[in-house]
């Protein structure tokens, strides 16, 4: 499988923190995030504006397709696993934000993670997640990302990579747990 370089601008992470500083800092248990609905074709502008603000403030952020983010618990779990992988030298990326994206996607390869989590011209929801102590403030129209998504649509879960067979194993109100399992399984599949 070849890596499509055109995917890179559509899924964004920005990290201003030196890796040694990041690895020596205390683990951050909480993440803060927002989700906003956008019209087709607006997602890239939203992403660029968020990255510009993050850069100016020295913040680490992850900007992704909001349909592939299943709440703060999803991203907090991904951030936890990413931090641990970096602390133990098992990271696939040099960037904490990109490593978090890998775990959030539930994929083994960064190229697959980028393809899954990227915003596109068709994106209708953008998630912006702060992964650092440096501040980034929500703006008008940015809704605080909920802790978890209750009973997400079946189509959305299937797009994320949850199979119909897996969906049958849990009641609808527990389906987000399947996403969290995919996040945790990245440690196993990337070995």
Ordered by where they begin, the domains of the chain are: 5-189 (3.30.2380.10)
Tens digit of each residue's pLDDT (9 = 90 or more) over 42-51? 999 999 999 8
Is pTM beyond 0.85? Reply is no
CB 139 within 8 A of CB 131: no
* Phi, psi values for residue 33, rounded to 5°: -150, 160
Q: Residue 135: which pLDDT band, with cuts at 50, 70 and 90? A: confident
Overall average pLDDT of the 49-73 stretch: 91
Cβ neighbours of 28 (radius 10 Å): 17
The pairing of strands 12-14 and 143-144 is: unpaired
Structure tokens at 68: 């592939």
Beta bridge pairs of residue 65: 126
């Amino acid at each position: 499988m070849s890596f499509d370089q055109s995917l890179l601008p559509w899924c964004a992470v920005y990290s201003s923190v030196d890796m040694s500083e990041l690895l020596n800092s205390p683990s951050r248990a909480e993440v803060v995030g927002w989700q906003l609905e956008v019209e087709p074709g607006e997602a890239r502008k939203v992403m660029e504006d968020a990255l510009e603000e993050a850069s100016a403030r020295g913040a680490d952020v992850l900007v992704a397709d909001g349909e592939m983010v299943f709440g703060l618990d999803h991203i907090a779990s991904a951030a936890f696993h990413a931090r641990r992988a970096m602390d133990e030298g098992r990271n696939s990326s040099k960037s904490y934000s990109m490593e978090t994206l890998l775990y959030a996607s539930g994929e083994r390869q960064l190229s697959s993670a980028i393809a899954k989590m990227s915003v596109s011209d068709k994106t209708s929801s953008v998630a912006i997640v702060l992964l650092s102590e440096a501040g980034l403030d929500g703006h008008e129209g940015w809704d605080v990302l909920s802790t978890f998504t209750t009973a997400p649509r079946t189509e959305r879960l299937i797009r994320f990579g949850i199979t119909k067979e897996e969906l049958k194993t849990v009641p609808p109100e527990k389906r987000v747990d399947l996403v969290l399992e995919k996040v945790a399984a990245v440690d196993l599949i990337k070995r």
